[in-house]
Structure 1
Amino acid sequence: MKTQEYTARQTIMVHDYAGHPFTAELSRELARNGYIVHHVFFAGDKGPKGRNLREADDPDLLTFHAVDIDRDYSKTNLFARRSCDIEYGNKIAALIGKLRPDIVLSGNTPTETQEPILKATKKHAAKFIFWCQDFYSIAAKEILSKKIPVLGAMIGSYYTHLEKRQMRNSDHIVHITEAFRQQTDEWGIPAENVSVIPNWAAISAISVRDRENSWSAAQQLSKGRRIIYSGTLALKHNPRLLLALAESIDPPDELIVIANGVGMDWLREQKLNKPTLRCLPLQPIEVFEEVLASSDVLVAVIEEDAGRFSVPSKVLSYLCAGRPIVLAAPADNLAAQIVEETKAGLTSGPQDIDAFVKSVHSFLNSPKDRRLSGAAGRSYAEQTFQIDKVAEAFRRVFVEV
């Protein structure tokens, strides 16, 4: 049956707290297929952002909403962060009351932000789809239990209670990996209420570019071999891996870390007298493909206790760039499995500094291996990251709810 039979007069709110590039791509494709789409994101989040403004060729049915709160967002102070999350969630709830969407698809969203969004969706008789990018409650419990053992475990249990209840009250859940089904099965959520749609990258915005380009020239990058990390560097990452990597190379080779977060703050403090380490802020999405292209090797890291509930989306963008990837992550992490199975790069354990550094050097010393792995990653991305097929998978979920 034709898509239009289902989408006539249907309004979809796509809420992506983080404002990632791939979610904006989904909203554009849904609008091209006849949905009225409101793409909503948190303007106060300092993480990487996609093309979240209207462009000349965007469909008339697409509107972007950059929603902010009336203060700076804190990711380091637990209580301030909680207050900010609730304030932002209330603003999205008010927007739902104003726009009255038929369906709300909400992902990348902190648990206490999701709560008022879900309640507002139900209040206005819309359908709520929980887009599970990771399990925030499990992350909170495991990370906070280490930082503040007794209180952290209690806070984590509270978030688990909230997230479990939210998923049970959702009209549907979309996981990004089959591995997440185990958790919703344990929470007693019927399998028929759960779908799996793997994440993707906006491949149309990341072509394979020359290593020497306008961005590398503007940054006056070294002519030596370049290793690049781009994305958030937060609590669930291990910046010590990057520091060790910088210490393992000699000029004119360099490691360029383009990031924000508490891990980046720590790395900047260690940077003194390390000429092979360059720290840069996150770059505009308009130059992102040139940033990735400027590398010889792309690297990513994720912690052991975060690996089973988080799939680093930066790796999916790396696959598009045609550069080899070295990923420090648990072996059962989906991104690690993709890198290994496609031969797009090499993986190591998240605490194995020696293996991580050795893997990077193996690519630095072999132009042939760099070329083969980069081509393998790009081939996988071209076959897998087709936005029309992704949008069709979401359309089937919309029809079901």
Structure 2
Amino acid sequence: MRIMVHDYAGHPFVVSLSQELASRGHEVTHSFASDLLTPRGVLKRSDGDPETLRFREIRMNPNYRRDKYKFVRRRRYECEYGRELEKAIAEIKPDVVLSGQTPSEPQLVAAKACRRMQIAFVTWVQDFYSIAVRKLASKKSSVLGFLAGSYYTRIDRRFFSYSDHIVSISDDFIPILKQYGVPESKVTTIENWGALAGIPLRDKDNPWSRRMGLSDSRVLMYSGTLAMKHNPEPLLDLAKQLEADVSAKIVVIAEGPGADYLSSEVSKRGVGNIIIMPFQPFEDLPDILGTANVFLAMLEPEAGIFSVPSKVLSYLCAGKPTVAAMPEENLSARILVKQGAGIVVPPGDSERFVAAAMELLKDDDRRISMGRKAREYAESRFEIGGVCDRFEAVFRIVSFERSLKGSAPQREAAVLK
């Protein structure tokens, strides 16, 4: 098949899916938005990539980063992006489009374009944009939150109706999808995974840790976006507790409003044991994660089940334990607790977050045991071949169903095949 994988954010684990699909003989175009501020994979051809794999950057207005939290401008840029995405689909002419992480309006444009061009369209639900917009806008005004939420809910309903199938990353999303008018028969759950092949285990003493002067430090690491749904205050509280321990460092590899706030507070308070750095190249990720003794994650209460942080899945691959302040019903939290791969505390409970991090930093045996369980889980669940099998099955079904909706000769050929 000709497959277009549209991962708006450009995450590493999605690149691994495109690589695997291409290795099976499919013609795959991996497309993504330009100028986004988020951790990204290697979004270009690498040595060893199949000949049938292509990468395509789709233009996003470069001012998007600056104006991301200005609703009117952000909406205009996203609508412009939708038109660019539609052009790419028309030029590539795939048999099927898989589109995820995409804001509502460009997702609707893509779904309608595929319907018009008789291309199978699969929506990959990583979160619910309309719910996120409503919560974000409600912080400014309850009326604005209601109006924005209602507007985007209508858009989400429309692109779900135009989709041939829905891939959900969690069964938790199915009741919500039903509220959007999506029948359960139209949904397949495929949980997200970490880019296991791209994150081999590394010793703490490695080229990156030596370059950063961290090979002899005990490192608590946060790596990923620090956005509106992440509260950086626990990191400052943890730094205060570790002031007397010169061997301990908190390393924050992040960008976004939370990172800007954290940097400002570190400067104001004269905090010397937090190191803040921008996103690093994906090629360095194994060494970066290998440098950590303990990983850190935060998610605000309102995120609930609606966000599954990909950083936690990468942490699992690296074979180190995680201390997470997040809702216990969140899928990542449930994985950490069930697998014994970390400690989960309620979001906003900075005291318990700090205590859990300090406990793991001091208890070598427990830390090593949790890290081993984390890697074992990743190896049992993140093998890309099995993940790809499930996506291929969805693509075959929607392509067959789409062919049955075509002309009489097309229907006859599909039945004979």
Same fold? TM cut 0.5: yes
- For residue 260 of structure 1, give the secondary structure of its aligned residue in structure 2: coil
Q: 2:161 aligns with which of 148, 165, 168?
A: 168
Residue 241 of structure 2 is aligned to residue 242 of structure 1: no
Aligned identity (percent) is 42
- For residue 216 of structure 1, give the secondary structure of its aligned residue in structure 2: helix
Q: Counterpart of 1:282 in structure 2: which amino acid? A: F
Superposed displacement of residue 187, structure 1: 2.4
Q: Could you list the per-position Cα deviations for residues 74-122 of structure 1 after superposition, in whole angstroms to 9, with x for gaps in the alignment?
A: 3222222111111112101101111111111000111122121112211
Aligned counterparts of 2:129 and 2:175: Cα–Cα separation in 1: 15
Q: Counterpart of 2:18 in structure 1: which amino acid? A: S
Aligned counterparts of 1:37 and 1:90: Cα–Cα separation in 2: 21
Residue 254 of structure 2 is aligned to residue 259 of structure 1: yes
- For residue 271 of structure 1, give the secondary structure of its aligned residue in structure 2: helix
Aligned counterparts of 1:264 and 1:222: Cα–Cα separation in 2: 24
Q: Equivalent residues in 2 for 1:2-401 (5 A)? A: 10-73=1-64, 74-221=67-214, 223-250=216-243, 251-272=246-267, 273-401=270-398
> Does the CA-based 8 Å contact 1:69-1:88 persist in structure 2?
yes
Give the structure with higher Rg (CA).
2
Superposed displacement of residue 220, structure 1: 1.7
Task: Tell which deviates more after alignment, 62-71 or 256-265.
Answer: 62-71
Instruction: For structure 1, list consecutive stretches of 5 or more residues without a partner in the other structure.
Output: 1-9
Aligned counterparts of 2:82 and 2:320: Cα–Cα separation in 1: 38
Q: Could you list the per-position Cα deviations for residues 134-173 of structure 1 after superposition, in whole angstroms to 9, with x for gaps in the alignment?
A: 1111111122112222112211111111112211221000
> Does the CA-based 8 Å contact 1:129-1:173 persist in structure 2?
yes
- For residue 380 of structure 2, give the secondary structure of its aligned residue in structure 1: helix
Aligned counterparts of 1:305 and 1:333: Cα–Cα separation in 2: 11
Aligned counterparts of 1:218 and 1:75: Cα–Cα separation in 2: 33
Aligned counterparts of 1:281 and 1:292: Cα–Cα separation in 2: 15
Aligned counterparts of 1:54 and 1:222: Cα–Cα separation in 2: 32
Q: Counterpart of 2:325 in structure 1: which amino acid? A: A
Question: TM-score normalised to the size of structure 1?
Answer: 0.96
Q: Could you list the per-position Cα deviations for residues 311-365 of structure 1 after superposition, in whole angstroms to 9, with x for gaps in the alignment?
A: 0010000001011111111010000000000000100111111111111011011
Aligned counterparts of 1:325 and 1:286: Cα–Cα separation in 2: 22
Aligned counterparts of 1:142 and 1:385: Cα–Cα separation in 2: 32
Task: Tell which deviates more after alignment, 341-350 or 139-148.
Answer: 139-148
Aligned counterparts of 1:193 and 1:172: Cα–Cα separation in 2: 5
> Does the CA-based 8 Å contact 1:222-1:253 persist in structure 2?
no
Task: Tell which deviates more after alignment, 79-88 or 280-289.
Answer: 79-88
Task: Tell which deviates more after alignment, 329-338 or 63-72.
Answer: 63-72
> Does the CA-based 8 Å contact 2:17-2:388 persist in structure 1?
yes
Superposed displacement of residue 71, structure 1: 3.1
Aligned counterparts of 1:135 and 1:224: Cα–Cα separation in 2: 40
Question: TM-score normalised to the size of structure 2?
Answer: 0.92
Q: Counterpart of 2:231 in structure 1: which amino acid? A: N
Stretches (4+) displaced over 4 A: none
Q: Which residue does the alignment assign to 1:5? A: none
Superposed displacement of residue 400, structure 1: 1.3
- For residue 168 of structure 1, give the secondary structure of its aligned residue in structure 2: helix
> Does the CA-based 8 Å contact 2:9-2:36 persist in structure 1?
yes
Aligned counterparts of 1:108 and 1:70: Cα–Cα separation in 2: 17
Q: Counterpart of 1:63 in structure 2: which amino acid? A: R
- For residue 254 of structure 2, give the secondary structure of its aligned residue in structure 1: strand
Aligned counterparts of 2:98 and 2:8: Cα–Cα separation in 1: 11
Kindly tell me the number of residue pairs found equivalent between the two proteins.
392
Q: Flag the 1:392–1:151 CA change in 2: closer, same or farther, 3 A.
A: same
RMSD over aligned Cα atoms: 1.1
Task: Tell which deviates more after alignment, 44-53 or 221-230.
Answer: 221-230
Q: Could you list the per-position Cα deviations for residues 191-217 of structure 1 after superposition, in whole angstroms to 9, with x for gaps in the alignment?
A: 111100000011001111111111111
